């Protein structure tokens, strides 16, 4: 059942399942909370209360917002955690990986851990040599094209690259939902605006994080020429000993949708380790 939370600037939609310690799931740009449909059951079965959130402008959340930065998204996630009675562990994908970083830095008593899936958490400085990596070159052309032109077909083409090899059994339905959402009034403009927001605000807060962080990257993620190097750079920018990196062989930019069992296993191991530490 969808629930709604009014925050400054609009309304955030989310749904909650299970009972136990709180885990909040936040998706990436141009998506919705449905991205975690295969991960939620495993977390609930393991004894967690799981809230899957639609980011501002996405899913069933409202469309018109004054700010699309990761800092603004972090404020939304913190508002959901407060509504549900934190503390919580935040799981953020792509743009919301950066938002989760900021939320953890802003409210260390409210966020006890962060899982970042293929996160855009640092300033991006692609090199000319990166374009020699075919999947990166093709991915960037489609991402830039979708952003500049507001093209649903180009975004769909990008998703084809972002899911290399393994795709979920409901792939056709998955694409259909994404397309139908993006064709709703204002949704594509929301994605474009979010895409224009730089991750510099998240990168500036990496050193301020006090909770443990797990970074998960796919070895075939087209968003980086070297996904391992990007994940390692995020970990290195955190205070010493707080972060660790896990790679998923064969995964692209959506490891939680390509390999939900593997991601759920990593998240649960992280949750257990943090519970033991606490």
Question: What order of strands is seen across the sheet that includes strand 22-26?
Answer: 3-7, 10-17, 49-53, 22-26, 88-93, 111-117, 213-218, 243-248
CA atoms within 13 A on the CB side of 149: 11
Looking at residue 126, what is its pLDDT?
A: 77
Name the residue with higher pLDDT: 106 or 130. 106
Rounded distance, CA 150 to CA 189, Å?
7
What mean pLDDT value characterizes the chain? 95
What digits encode the pLDDT tens for the residues 151-197?
999 999 999 999 999 999 999 999 999 999 999 999 999 999 999 99
The pTM assigned to this predicted structure is: 0.95
Per-residue pLDDT averaged across 102-108, rounded? 97
What does the buried/exposed string (b/e) look like for 122-135 if buried means 16 or more CB atoms within 10 Å of the residue's CB?
A: beeeeeeeeeeeeb
Answer yes or no: is pLDDT of 48 > 90: yes
Please report which confidence band the pLDDT of residue 110 belongs to, taking 50, 70 and 90 as the band edges.
very high
Q: What is the pLDDT of residue 130?
A: 84
The CATH number of the domain covering residues in 3-277:
3.40.50.1820
The SS3 assignment for 11 reads strand
- Residue 275's pLDDT is 56
The answer to whether the beta carbons of residues 32 and 53 sit under 8 Å apart is no
pLDDT band at residue 31 under the 50/70/90 scheme: very high
């Amino acid at each position: 059942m969808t629930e709604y939370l009014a925050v400054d600037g609009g309304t955030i939609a989310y749904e909650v399942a299970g009972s136990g310690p709180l885990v909040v799931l936040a998706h990436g740009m141009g998506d919705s909370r449905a991205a975690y449909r295969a991960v939620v059951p495993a977390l609930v079965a393991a004894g967690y209360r799981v809230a899957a959130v639609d980011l501002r402008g996405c899913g069933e959340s409202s469309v018109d917002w004054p700010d699309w930065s990761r800092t603004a998204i972090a404020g939304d996630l913190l508002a959901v955690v407060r509504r549900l009675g934190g503390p919580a562990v935040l799981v953020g994908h792509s743009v919301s990986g950066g938002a989760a970083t900021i939320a953890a830095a802003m409210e260390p008593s409210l966020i006890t851990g962060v899982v970042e899936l293929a996160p855009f958490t640092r300033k991006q400085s692609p090199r000319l040599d990166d374009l020699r990596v075919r999947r990166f070159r093709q991915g960037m052309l489609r991402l830039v094209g979708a952003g500049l032109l507001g093209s649903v077909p180009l975004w769909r083409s990008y998703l084809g690259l972002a899911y290399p090899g393994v795709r979920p059994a409901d792939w056709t339905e998955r694409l259909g939902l994404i397309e139908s959402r993006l064709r709703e009034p204002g949704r594509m403009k929301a994605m474009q605006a979010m895409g224009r927001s730089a991750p510099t605000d998240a990168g500036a807060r990496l050193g301020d994080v006090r909770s443990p962080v797990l970074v998960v990257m796919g070895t075939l993620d087209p968003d980086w020429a070297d996904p391992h190097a990007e994940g390692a750079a995020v970990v290195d920018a955190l205070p010493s000993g707080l972060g660790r990196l896990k790679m998923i062989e064969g995964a692209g930019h959506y490891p939680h949708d390509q390999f939900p069992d593997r991601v759920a296993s990593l998240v649960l191991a992280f949750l257990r380790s943090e519970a033991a530490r606490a």
